[in-house]
Each structure stands twice: as C-alpha cells, then as structure tokens.
Amino acid sequence: MEDRSRQLTDRDARRRERAIAASVVALLAAAVVALIVYNRVQAAKIGTGTYIPRREKITPEVRLLQQYVQIDTANPPGNEIAGARWLGARLARFGIPFEIIESAPARANLYARIRGKRGGEGLLLLNHIDVVPAAPQGWTRPPFRADIYGNMLWGRGALDMKGVGIAQLEAFIAVATRGRQPEHDVVFLATADEENGSALGTRWLLEHRPDVFSGVKYALAEGGITEMEQTKLTYYGIEVGSKQAVSLDIAAPSKEQLERARIHLERHFVRDEPDRVLPEIARFFRQIAPVRLEHRDLLADIDRTIAAGKFWLLPQAYRSLTQDVVRVRNIRADGARFTAGVYMSNLPDTLPDERIGWLAKEIAPFGARVVTVHGKGGPAPISSDQTPLFAILEKEIRRQYGLVPVGTEVLATSASDSRFLRPRGITCYGFLPFPADFYQSQSIHGVDERVTIDSFTQGVQVMRRVVLDYAGLA
C-alpha cells in the first residue's frame, strides 16, 4: 500500500512538473511572440522616422528644397547644369551676380562672391549639385518627386547634400540683402562631380579657376554628424578631418602568387596596435568619450589605454583612426595575369607616394607589383577647432538645440571635397545644420533618403545666423 501511495505521489508530482513546464513554455512562447510584434512595430516606426509625426509647416525654404530635389542630377551622368541654372535663377531674383562655370558639356559649377571690407579671411559655402543614382525600386516614395509625408521630405539629395545647399544659399542671400557690406568675403560655390571624385568639380576649379578660392580662409562643407536618441541630440560632431584614400591594382603572373601576397598583407588590415595617434585624433576621442558609455574610459585617455595594453578592445573604426590600413579586394583573372584591387586608408598626414612605395616592397617577394594607381589622396591636415568660426558654430548650435555636447568628428571611412582644400591652407568644417538621426543618415546613398521638415527649417535658421555672424552682420 505504501508503495502504491508513493507511485501515485510520484505520478502526481510528474504531472504537476509537466503542467508547470507546459505553462512556462506557453509563457515563453507568448513572450517571444509579443517581443517579435513589439520589435516589428518599433522597427516600422523607426524605419520611417515617424515616432510622433508632427504636423508639417511648409515654409518657403521647404518649397525650395522640393524644387531642387526634383531636378535629377544623378551622377553619372551628372547634368549639373540644370541645378546650376536653378540656383542662378534664385540668386538673380535678388540681383546677386553669379557665374556658371562649365568644366565639360552639361557639367556645371555655380560661383558667386560678396566682397567684404577686408581681404584674406573669406568664408566659402561649399556644396555639390550632383547626387548618387537612385533607381526607384525599393523606395517608399519616388526618389526625385520630393514628396512630403510624415513630417519628412523624401528624395535623393535631401541630406546629401541639397538640403545643406539650400541652407547655404539662403544664408548667402541674407548677407547680400543685409544692406551693409560684410567684414569678410562670403563665397557661394555649388560644384559638379563630387560623388564621382570631383575631377569636374572642386579639383577642376582648383586647377583652372584658382580665383574662385582666392582670399578664402574658412570653408563650411559636408561631413558633419549628429547623434540622437530618438529626438534628443546627444552629440553634435563638426567634421575637421578624415582619412585619405589611395586606390590601386596589384598584379602577379599566377593566382597563387597574388594570394600569398594578399595573405602577407593581412597583417596590415585594421590591427590591435596603433601606428601613431595624432593630437587631433586624441582630442576627438576625448570629446566623444562621454557619449560612448561602453568605451568611455578607453577613449578618454588613449595614451593610458595603449600603455595598459587595452587598445585592442576598441572597435575597428577607432583603431583605424590611428593606423595606415590596407584592404585587398577580390583576385580576378586579367588576361595572362591575375590582378586584385587594393584600397589604402591612410592617416591624414601620410604621404601617399611613400605608402605606395612601401606596398610595392611588401609584395615584391611574391612576384607581385603595383600596376595601376586609380587615385591617391593626402596629405590633408586636420583643421583646428580653436578658431573664431568654430566658436560661432558651437554658439549657434547650442542657441538652437540647447546644451548639446558639441565637438569634433574625424571620419574613418568617408571624405568630402575638404580634402582638396585643407592642403591649401583653408580651414574646413563639415557642418550639418539640421539634426539627422541614425536611420536618416543610413539613407544617404541608400533608399528612402529623407530629412525631417522642422529640423531642416531650423537648420536653415542656424546656417543663416552662423554666416551673418562671421560676416559681422548679425
């Protein structure tokens, strides 16, 4: 009887355990389903940038941006002449002289200058007319229709960089119509071909029209970064420099030889030890550290981090900013030989020819050699943030957006036309006058590029005040 009772007790216990287990599984399944549904809802909200869509306020500047985005200046083929004429018509409305400079048929740059009282400290407002191509597939709204929906203006160029171009244009017009002569020259320059290397834009102008840059001390260009948590700004980064790119091909008689050369070069990919830490990079690390919770202590004192043997704990992007990096692309058959593309991401002060010579020596023992250099950049010094213009930028950012941390930004994986101006002594700042969140920034060169309407409108005001202040007309 006692055994029988024990069996019943054990059976009841197992029954209860199974019931409890089934309940736990059901609860877990419900939780998983709920989490999936929640994540999808949040992803949909985040992906469209419409957490709480505000009612759009369509200002004249918004209409201007609509019209500008609707001009298809995708490069290739470019056709910047259409955009240049539109910009010129806007300037002509206020009686402002301008010049359209064609570097090739239909490849146009627009240049205008307001003379100041004193020479040598001019401010250049630099933007580009061309945009990257945008096939309509995958877009929520057509890329060149400039729809306004959900408090956003959607279209190719809204961020890169027709939105900034409109903000600069309106600031330039504000100077011209102020009724007083500015203290310094103010130059408006909208260029061609930035998205394809600038051979018909800034680089062409520097060679053929150096007068465009005469007397320029500062430039406001693209490249700035805003970091946000939903709608709250957490860091306002003003770009002061970037790594410099060299693109070339290497070749060898056999695939095996080239493969051995590639394996040898792997030790020069992003590594666990720095080459050198430039003072401006260390400063950038210190400024960004407070908003990098996971790596705050490592970035706050990079010398201490290196001395403690903890440099390898930093993400690749930060380590790359202290290294000359090599990347080797796919090996391919090329007639009687094999070739591979090499991309070198150099520190701003690295001499590209010396780096190419170093590469040639590294691969020579494997029967490989450098055959074609497609492009080389640098050296290009990092611009100082200890200037009157940087102080104006910081003041106006905080005036508009509150006590947001403002600091520098050094780009590890991209660059702007500032790389051509900095070697000529021009202090360049990549400045995005209106906040863009992570998802909007990801749409640059991707699908669904868009800018928030009220942020854009505020950014136009910020740019206007910055330029008027520097011109002595605030």
pLDDT digits (tens, 9 = 90+) for 179-203: 999 999 999 999 999 999 999 999 9
Distance CA 158, CA 137 (A): 18
pLDDT band at residue 99, thresholds of 50, 70 and 90? very high
pLDDT at 288 over 80: yes
Angle in degrees, CA 96, 460, 145, rounded to 5: 90
How far CA 155 is from CA of 70, 144, 244, 303, in Å, comes to 8, 5, 29, 44
Say which DSSP state 336 is in.
T
pLDDT band at residue 55, thresholds of 50, 70 and 90? confident
pLDDT at 43 over 60: no
Check residue 37 and give its pLDDT.
47
Check residue 230 and give its pLDDT.
80
pLDDT at 19 over 70: no
pLDDT digits (tens, 9 = 90+) for 374-424: 999 999 999 999 999 999 999 999 999 999 999 999 999 999 999 999 999
Check residue 15 and give its pLDDT.
66
pLDDT at 449 over 60: yes
Higher-pLDDT residue of 125, 30? 125
pLDDT digits (tens, 9 = 90+) for 214-249: 999 999 999 999 999 888 999 999 999 999 999 999
pLDDT at 464 over 90: yes
Strand spans (E) along 183-243: 184-191, 216-221, 225-229, 232-242
Distance CA 215, CA 205 (A): 15
% residues pLDDT > 90 (the chain): 87
User: What are the tokens at 400?
Assistant: 């508009």
Say which DSSP state 73 is in.
-
Question: Average pLDDT, stretch 203-215?
Answer: 98
Contact between 104 and 200 under an 8 Å Cβ cutoff? The reply is yes
Distance CA 291, CA 405 (A): 9
pLDDT at 26 over 60: no
Check residue 42 and give its pLDDT.
43
Say which DSSP state 349 is in.
T
Say which DSSP state 224 is in.
-
User: What are the tokens at 14?
Assistant: 């197992």
Check residue 21 and give its pLDDT.
54
CB atoms within 10 A of CB 286: 15
Helix (H, G, I), strand (E, B) or coil at 60: helix
Check residue 57 and give its pLDDT.
87
Higher-pLDDT residue of 49, 163? 163
Contact between 192 and 106 under an 8 Å Cβ cutoff? The reply is no
Distance CA 188, CA 175 (A): 11
Say which DSSP state 131 is in.
B
pLDDT band at residue 16, thresholds of 50, 70 and 90? low
Q: Shortest CA distance to 395 belongs to which of 474, 468, 466?
A: 466
User: What are the tokens at 87?
Assistant: 């910009």
Contact between 404 and 397 under an 8 Å Cβ cutoff? The reply is yes
Higher-pLDDT residue of 396, 8? 396
Backbone angles phi, psi at 213, to 5 degrees: -100, 5
Distance CA 474, CA 457 (A): 19
Check residue 17 and give its pLDDT.
62
pLDDT band at residue 8, thresholds of 50, 70 and 90? very low
CATH number among 3.40.630.10, 3.90.850.10, 3.40.109.10, 3.40.50.970, domain 60-223+416-470: 3.40.630.10
Residues 6+ apart with CB under 8 A from 8: none
Q: Which of 50-54, 116-120, 139-143, 331-335 has the lowest mean pLDDT?
A: 50-54
Higher-pLDDT residue of 210, 7? 210
pLDDT band at residue 175, thresholds of 50, 70 and 90? very high
% residues pLDDT > 70 (the chain): 89
Question: Average pLDDT, stretch 298-320?
Answer: 98
pLDDT digits (tens, 9 = 90+) for 322-348: 999 999 999 999 999 999 999 999 999
pLDDT at 36 over 90: no
Distance CA 472, CA 185 (A): 11
Question: Average pLDDT, stretch 32-51?
Answer: 47
Q: What is the mean pLDDT of the chain?
A: 92
User: What are the tokens at 178?
Assistant: 């102020």
Query: Given phi > 0 = left and psi -120 to 50 = alpha, else beta, which region is 295?
Result: alpha
pLDDT at 45 over 80: no
Distance CA 457, CA 42 (A): 27
Burial class (CB in 10 A: 0-12, 13-18, 19+), 201: buried
H-state helical runs in 185-288: 202-208, 255-265, 279-288
